[in-house]
Amino acid sequence: MEQAKKLIDTLAREHTLTQDEYALLVSLYSPEIAEYAAGKADSLRREIYGNKVYIRGLIEIGNACRNNCYYCGIRRSNKACERYILTREEILACCEEGYNLGFRTFVLQSGEGCFTCSEICSLIKEIKAKYPDCAVTLSLGEFTRDEYAAMKAAGADRYLLRHETADREHYASLHPDMDFDSRMRCLSDLHSLGFQTGCGFMVGSPGQTVQTIAKDLKFIEEFQPEMCGIGPFIPHADTPFANEKAGSAALTVFLLSLIRLIKPDILLPATTALATVDPLGREKGILAGANVIMPNLSPVAVRKKYSLYDGKVCTGEESAQCLKCVETRMKSIGFEISYSRGDYKNGKI
């Protein structure tokens, strides 16, 4: 306990540890240590973001995918997945509904290859013209540097591309036909093009070890992303990982605290996957240092089809209901929803 507390104190003060120290800290996990880390993370987050939680309207714009990630329910080989791609009109209708509800960030997410770069660019331009006070975040997978540059020029503000794991062999064991170097190239292009850039990983993905988590934490420390998405791995029945064990909510929450300590001003969501493995996941995530929630704005008719993992919560609710629910949950733990764009603060207010 003393050893872990010392490491947490150092991390809170200096925002860096060696990879071996990260591994040691993760291996020392216990509920008491996690509580200690959460206390430190909570106070660092409050110094910058107060008790405000940013919301992002997530629009799942298509579930077709050219990749075949072993863990993902929308992988191309899953013939049981009923595919859809939203039309421009449907996407704009989601934005309109979201705007009226108070959202000032729209996150467009899809499988890879649903849309061409030029389709994405026209969509961004249209959204930005209609809602100039809103941020557009993209989460559409890998593109060339030139394509990312075009999306930036069209007005996109942020890009989420989880690195999935910072360990090359582990990456290969999760992604049969994808390339670790290409993922890393994408992240570095996004960052250098000026996107607020998000990386991230699943907690408890098959093959993950304390060592690979330590690499993930070191990677986050070195890459200095503006955002980081982590959530537990959850098996999907129609994937090769159907019989694997789900990741732990408690470890996810502990890692959220460590990431907040690594980068106190980071935008850090309490994810839907966390809420899926633990009914109080969002609350626990926020209390441990997260400061973003991404309620679903997708048309209710397609929500069940965007099935990355089994049991996903919030697939039956209307967007307005989701927002109300999140608002009530946040109030219950003393936090307030901020209806601003919620940009990265880069240090202090």
Query: Which chain residues interact with ligand FES by CB under 6 A?
Result: 65, 67, 69, 72, 74-75, 111-112, 141
What does 217 interact with, of ligand SAM, ligand FES, none (CB < 5 to 8 A by kind)? none
Query: What are the tokens at 50?
Result: 């107060």
Query: What CA–CA distance (Å, rounded) separates 329 from 155?
Result: 33
Which CB, 111 or 225, lies closer to ligand SAM?
111
Closer residue to ligand FES, CB minimum distance, 12 or 65: 65
Nearer to ligand SAM, 12 or 246 (CB): 246
- 180 is an interface residue for ligand SAM by CB under 6 A: no
User: Pick from ligand FES, ligand SAM, none: which does 234 bind, CB < 5 to 8 A by kind?
Assistant: ligand SAM
Which one of 52, 162, 324, 341 is in contact with ligand SAM (CB under 6 A)?
162
Nearer of residues 105 and 110 to ligand FES, judged by Cβ? 110
148 binds ligand SAM (CB under 6 A): no
Number of Cβ atoms within 10 Å of the Cβ of 131: 18
Query: Contact, 91 vs 313, CB < 8 A?
Result: no
Helix axes 117-130, 88-101, angle to 10 degrees: 30
Name the pairing type of β-strands 52-55 and 57-62: unpaired
**139 forms part of the interface with ligand SAM (CB under 6 A):** yes
- What is the separation, in whole angstroms, between the first and last Cα of the chain? 34
Residue 23: both structure tokens together: 């591994």
What span, in angstroms and rounded, lies between the C-alpha atoms of 235 and 206?
10
The partner in contact with residue 75, picked from ligand SAM, ligand FES, none with C-beta cut-offs of 5 to 8 angstroms by kind, is ligand FES
338 contacts ligand SAM (rule: CB under 6 A): no
Among 138, 190, 308, 314, binds ligand SAM (CB under 6 A): 308
Sequence-distant (≥ 6) Cβ neighbours of residue 179 within 8 angstroms:
none
Binding mask 199-228 for ligand SAM (x = CB under 6 A): ---x--------------------------
Q: What are phi and psi of 134, to 5 degrees?
A: -110, 150
Question: Which of 272, 291, 268, 294 minimizes the C-alpha distance to 281?
Answer: 272
Buried b (16+ CB within 10 A) or exposed e, 286-296: bbbbbbbbbbb
Nearest CA among 230, 188, 227, 190 for reference residue 208: 230
Q: Does 108 bind ligand SAM (CB under 6 A)?
A: no
Q: What angle do CA 106, 141, 89 make, to 5 degrees?
A: 40
* Between 44 and 203, CB nearer to ligand SAM: 203
Q: Is 198 in the site for ligand SAM (CB under 6 A)?
A: no
Distance of alpha carbon 278 from alpha carbon 166, whole angstroms: 26
Question: Of the ranges 92-100, 158-166, 286-294, 332-340, which one interacts with ligand SAM (CB under 6 A)?
Answer: 158-166
Q: Write the interaction track for ligand SAM spanning residues 229-268; mark x where CB under 6 A is met and - where it is not.
A: --x-xx-x--------------------------------
Query: Furthest-apart CA pair in the chain: how many Å?
Result: 57
- Which residue lies nearer to ligand FES by CB, 75 or 163? 75
161 binds ligand SAM (CB under 6 A): yes
Binding stretches for ligand SAM (CB under 6 A): 71-72, 109, 111-112, 139-141, 161-162, 164, 202, 231, 233-234, 236, 273, 308-309
